Chain A
Amino acid sequence: MSAVAAVREHRQFLGRTSFIEMGARERARAILDAGSFRELLGPFDRLKSPWLPLQGIVAQSDDGVVLARGTLDGRPALVAAIESIYQGGSMGEVSGAKIAGALELALRDCEQGKPVLPVLLLETGGVRLQEANLGLAVIAEIHAAIVALRRHVPVIGVISGMVGCFGGMSLAAALCSRLIVTRQARLGMNGPEVIEQEAGIAELDASDRALVWSLIGGEQRYAVGLVDELLEDDAVAIAASVRTAFAQGLPRQERSAQVDLYLERLAAIDPQRPLDGPGLRALWHGAARS
Chain B
Amino acid sequence: MERIELDYPARHAVPRRVHVGVVGSGDLEVLLEPSPDQRAHVLVNTSVDGFGVVWKSVLDRFFERFGGAASIEINDFGATPGTVMLRLEQAAEAVRA
Contact = CB atoms under 8 A, between A and B. Distances in A.
Interface of A: 23, 42-44, 53, 56-61, 83, 85-87
Contacts of A61: 19, 29, 31, 73, 75
Interface in B51-86: 73, 75-77
Nearest to A87: B23
Contact of A85 (B17, B19, B24, B75): B24
B6 to A, nearest CB: 17
B76 A58 contact: yes
A58 to B, nearest CB: 5
A83 B22 contact: yes
29 contacts: A23-B22, A43-B31, A44-B17, A53-B1, A56-B47, A57-B1, A57-B47, A58-B45, A58-B46, A58-B47, A58-B76, A58-B77, A59-B23, A59-B45, A60-B22, A60-B23, A60-B29, A61-B19, A61-B31, A61-B73, A61-B75, A83-B22, A85-B22, A85-B24, A85-B25, A85-B27, A86-B22, A86-B23, A87-B23
Contacts of B76: 58
Contacts of A53: 1, 45
Contacts, number: 44
B57 to A, nearest CB: 21
Contacts of B75: 58-61
Contacts of B24: 85-86
Contacts of A44: 17, 19, 31, 33
Given A43-B19, A86-B22, A58 B73 contact: no
Q: What is the size category of the interface that chain B forms with chain A?
A: 10 to 19
Contacts of A57: 1, 47
A60 B22 CA distance: 7
Interface string B5-32: 0000000000001010011110101010
Contacts of A87: 23
Nearest to A60: B23
Given A43-B31, A58-B46, A85-B24, 15 more contacts: A44-B33, A58-B23, A58-B47, A58-B76, A58-B77, A59-B75, A60-B29, A60-B75, A61-B19, A61-B29, A61-B31, A83-B22, A85-B22, A86-B22, A87-B23
A43 B1 contact: no
B1 A58 contact: yes
Contacts of B77: 58
Contacts of A59: 23, 45, 75
Contacts of B1: 53, 56-58
Nearest to B74: A58
Contacts of B73: 61
Given A57-B47, A58-B1, A42 B23 contact: no
Nearest to B77: A58
Contact of A43 (B25, B29, B46, B47): B29
A29 to B, nearest CB: 13
A177 B23 CA distance: 32
Nearest to A42: B19
A57 B17 CA distance: 25
Contacts of A86: 22-24
A56 B27 CA distance: 17
